[in-house]
Structure 1
Amino acid sequence: MDTFGTRTIDTRVGPLSFDHGMPTSETVAKLYDEMDFQRAVQCYLWALPIVSWEGGRQANEANFGADYDDVTLYGDYRTLSTAFTPNLTTPYSWAFLHLAEQGPTVVEMPPGATAGAIIDWWERPITDVGLVGPDQGRGGKYLLVGPGQDTPEAPGFHVFRSRTVHVPFFFRVLNPEADDAEAIKAGVRIYPYSRHEDPPPTRHIDSARDGELRTMVPPGGLAYWERLAEALAGEPGEDRDRFFRAMLRSLGIEAGKPFQPDERQRKLLIEGALVGEAIAKTCAFHRRFVGIRYRPDVRWNYLISPDWALNQDVDDYTQLEERSTFAYEVLAMSAGSMPTKPGTGQTYLCAYWDADGQVLDGAKSYRLHVPPNPPAERFWAVTVYDLDTRCFIQNKEEIPERSSRTGLKANDDGSVDVYFGPTAPAGLESNWIPTVPGKAWFTYLRLYGPLQPFFDRSWVLPDIETLQ
């Protein structure tokens, strides 16, 4: 058996010295730093869902003055620019529940064509609502019961248990121009179950404050860990997370104690956040999951890995890389985002490169040819996002999206060409999404109510072409 002996060994973390097999004091310090740095990187990736959701909650509070159970409307370019990878065609409504403060809580959905979900803090859908949920668009009352709480006898309610105290909720009105759209949005109610016989009114906030708005994008550096400490506050630990919580202790984050890292911990945390985000960006934009490519002859990827489990747990492990990859660029997972039946839910294809495998450059011009009969029962949309923020591209025209509902100019065969670039093509301004020189971008193609040609991949979506 090989022993360390008295020697210096070259490793990927640098030279390690031993004296008769005992690590020298310099090696001890180096290896503890390396161990805690590696822990910081892995904890960064593990924590992405709750750090992002805490960012969303804080942005909701800062931008709208919203408290728990208030319903806020993200309905325009300005407010939706604060969120990860939304679309502009169907406005979003958001709320955050706190089951420890309110006890079991009711979310009441009115009838109508809506799509949304109630989700836990770790990005696990608790239930869809609306057309894909148990109410199937007919309206219904959802009762959320928190960790350790008794489940009330609640006939007529759809009852679900959350594994977390914090519970985000969102929905979209799928036909925002319909006569009943405003009534649907105003008809959502949230209240403690203890008051279900005489529910208090729900506060709906439809406009954000003036001035610059706060985004949900996780901060870098030490601020990431400060937000993580806030996100973990009051949340019960789960068995699958116990090792991660143990690793955080050596970095200064511990349940029930203030986050006050020493100078060594601060240095490791700041560097860990930098490398952690670099890894998250690599995983998101260069995915290595089996079956992630839509077709072998194009560069379009599925947004959601085909083997993704909604509760993130499979036979003998939890999908850590899949979860961190998703959470780096998206929030609000739902069963409706993984439809198996044509005509239901919504699905997403992603492009991060042009046809030649080059980054999509905001200074260049491109064309996407959308063939005739896109397989979407409701509508389809192409949306452009900033590669760094994963939010809407910020152009002076405030146009991040074109969709089948926005009056696109079609070709004679029914196909549509969508253009990207800093300058509009003459006569095709209605098909143009402005990009910004100096900014890389990526795009999603959304299909609402995807049809069979999507599921069997017979519909071919060409790659994005660079125009000369």
Structure 2
Amino acid sequence: MGPQRLRVAEVSQERQQVQTQNELLRKKTMKIPTRFIAGLVAVIACSTMLSRASAQTVQETYLGDLEFQGQTITKETAELLHRRILQQRATQLVTWAMPMMNFNTLYPAMLSNQKMSENDVFFSLCDGYDGVYPYMTANVTTPYTIAMSDLSKTGPVVLDLPAGEIYGVVNDAWMQPIKEIGSGKPETLLLLGPGQKAPEDFKGEIVQSNTFLVLYFYRALGTGDEAKKLRTAVQAYKLSEAKNPPKTSFIKYAPKSGDKVELNTQPRDMRFWELVNEYVQREPMADRDRFFYAWLKDLGIEKGKPFKPTAQQKEILQQGLDVGMAMSQAISFNKTREMFPTSLYGKDSGFEDAMAGMNPKIDLPTYSQFNERASYGFEATTTSAGMVSRVAGKGSAYLGSYYDADGNALMGGNNYKLHVGPNPPAANFWSVTVYDIENRLIIRNETKRSDRSSRTEGLLKNDDGSVDIYFGPTAPEGKEVNWIQTNKGQSFFVYLRLYGPEQAYFDQTFPMSKIEQVK
């Protein structure tokens, strides 16, 4: 008999033995009392349940408990995690969008406030308490001359810059500088959007933007009639009108009582995501943003398709926005040395570099900056090389303080004092400005002033040349000129600006003092 047949015979014999044993077991169990069988069944059932329960495990995580059966995640937990994935991505998309959202709120605000259209090329003259109010962390001390264009609507735009002391920048839609203004010599610039080309006979510098939305602004930093003349000396017009350019429109922004004022601050409702969608539909996708666009697609925003989020997507988008705005404020107002190694001024001064150590170019050789642009984009608008200049006596520096000496929020119902030591390291001048936390705009108050500076007429100085600046709902007696009024129920923060920062600032040897509550 061959091996195969032998094995079949063995199996047949084993089966017969099993059947005989089963028959004997059946006869024996027939004699077992029914109550015993019921108990045995209960024991087996309990054993089965315990066996299943022992297979069910719980893993503690920062998201809460995650349930597994063996090594397999349960259906309920998987469903929870799918939602958490979308919530986390929506949250991170908020911080990703910060600098872009800045300009995508600024542009419609300018058009609405100046009653202009997206087909117009014009400059907005913004200065003074009411003139700069709508724009995030604007400076009241130095007038702005601002223009924005959607080059997909206007076509290429020509800028004729005069000789003289004007300084500014051209930014793309992500607040990245694409041209610094300030050579002091006459220049002609041609601003081109994606895919737009210059005429072969164009004489001047071509400024190619990666986005259609661009901002171009400048300041005349001198004083007197010369600065006043320079402020409206730049000419801007559409390339299509270059043969016979119209007179450039300079519109002073001076809102009247009752006028609707559009603000340059990020919305906290679905309008935020609508603006993100408008950007996605208008602009080409930057290569660095491919994965972010994949996240947007999962949340209902996709290029070439209408934005019609489901009820669940709306809920998740709003949840992500709520947390994303809080995270952005944490990044911006609570900088850490781990995230921003160079941004905290001194050892424990209470002041931080508002620029967060950002390189305005954003795209560095080995990575693109994320934390820095999210931090700055939450609280401020526009960047330029001059704002991060490391040359003593050139450019400007911005130090922010968001908490008092005890680590508490600066509250408008309290009284505070900031001590500015003698000889602040500013070759030109320095200023202190108060902003509200909610919108990052200059504080609105009965006195209609939000700053004090070394140029403030009658500013009181101490015997050693230092200055004490006061914040609170009421002025300390005899110190009114050094006082900025704040509002009960409204938290605020403070900027110290240094124009022409000197070496003591870069070395961080000029002592800065924390803002102290006066009780």
Q: Indicate whether the TM-score tops 0.5.
A: yes
Shift of 1:370: 1.6
Q: 1:285 to 1:207 in 2, by over 3 A?
A: closer
- Tell me which amino acid in the other structure corresponds to 1:452: Q
Q: CA deviation at 1:23?
A: 4.3
Aligned twin of 1:98: 150
Does residue 431 of structure 1 match 2:482? yes
Tell me the amino acid that sits aligned with residue 157 of structure 1.
G
Paired residues, number:
458
- The answer to which of 14-23 and 156-165 deviates more is 14-23
- Residue matched to 1:342: 392
Unaligned runs of 5+ in 1: 131-135
Aligned with residue 469 of structure 2, among 412, 418, 421: 418
Which one of 151, 157, 167 corresponds to residue 214 of structure 2?
A: 167
Match of 1:184 in 2: 230
2:297 matches 1:242: no
More helix per residue: 2
**Alignment match, 1:133:** none
Which amino acid counterpart does residue 109 of structure 1 have in structure 2? L
Task: Pick one of 497, 500, 503 that aligns with 1:449.
Answer: 500
Q: How does 1:377-396 map to 2 (within 5 A)?
A: 377-396=427-446
Read off the aligned partner of 1:445 and give its amino acid letter: L
CA distance in 1, matches of 2:125, 2:310: 41
Stretch moving more, 266-275 or 199-208: 199-208
Whichever residue aligns with residue 325 of structure 2, its letter is: E
Which shows bigger deviation, 371-380 or 101-110?
101-110
**TM-score computed with the length of structure 2 as normaliser:** 0.84
State the one-letter code of the partner of 2:163.
P
* Bigger mean CA deviation after superposition, 260-269 or 120-129: 120-129
Give the CA deviation at 1:72.
0.9
SS of alignment partner, residue 28 of structure 1: helix
Report if the CA contact (8 A) 2:130-2:254 is conserved: no
| Aligned positions of 1:32-43 closer than 5 A | 32-43=82-93
Q: Deviations over 1:26-51 (max 9, x none)?
A: 33322221111111011111111122
Match of 2:246 among 188, 192, 200: 200
How far off its partner does 1:353 sit?
1.9
Report the 3-state secondary structure (helix = DSSP H, G, I; strand = E; otherwise coil) of the residue aligned with 1:325.
helix
1:313 counterpart = 2:363:
yes
| SS of match in other structure, 1:362 | coil
Task: Using the TM superposition, give the Cα deviation of residue 388 of structure 1 relative to its aligned residue in structure 2, in angstroms.
Answer: 1.7
Shift of 1:426: 1.7
2:518 is aligned with 1:467: yes
Q: Report the aligned-residue RMSD.
A: 2.1
Helix, strand or coil at the partner of 2:282: coil
> Would the aligned equivalents of 2:335 and 2:344 in 1 still touch at CA under 8 Å?
no
Distance 1:60 1:93 in 2: 12
Q: Which residue of 1 is the match for residue 40 of structure 2?
A: none
* Aligned-partner Cα distance in 2 for 1:277–1:78: 27
Structure 2 residue corresponding to 1:144, chosen from 182, 191, 211: 191
For residues 16 and 463 of structure 1, do their structure 2 counterparts lie closer, same or farther at Cα, with a shift above 3 Å needed?
A: closer
Change over 3 Å in CA distance of 1:345–1:22 after alignment to 2: same
Amino acid at match of 2:80: K
Give the direction of change, closer, same or farther, for the CA distance of 1:152–1:449 in structure 2 (3 Å limit): farther
Segments of 5+ residues of structure 2 without an aligned counterpart are: 1-53
In 2, are the aligned partners of 1:221 and 1:269 still within 8 Å (CA)? no
Distance (Å, rounded) in 1 between the aligned partners of 2:92 and 2:375: 13
Q: After alignment, is 246-255 or 155-164 more displaced?
A: 155-164
Q: 2-side partners of 1:417 and 1:363: how far apart?
A: 19
* CA distance in 2 between partners of 1:423 and 1:212 (Å): 29
Would you say 1:304 and 2:304 are equivalent positions? no
Identify the residue that residue 127 of structure 1 maps to in structure 2. 179
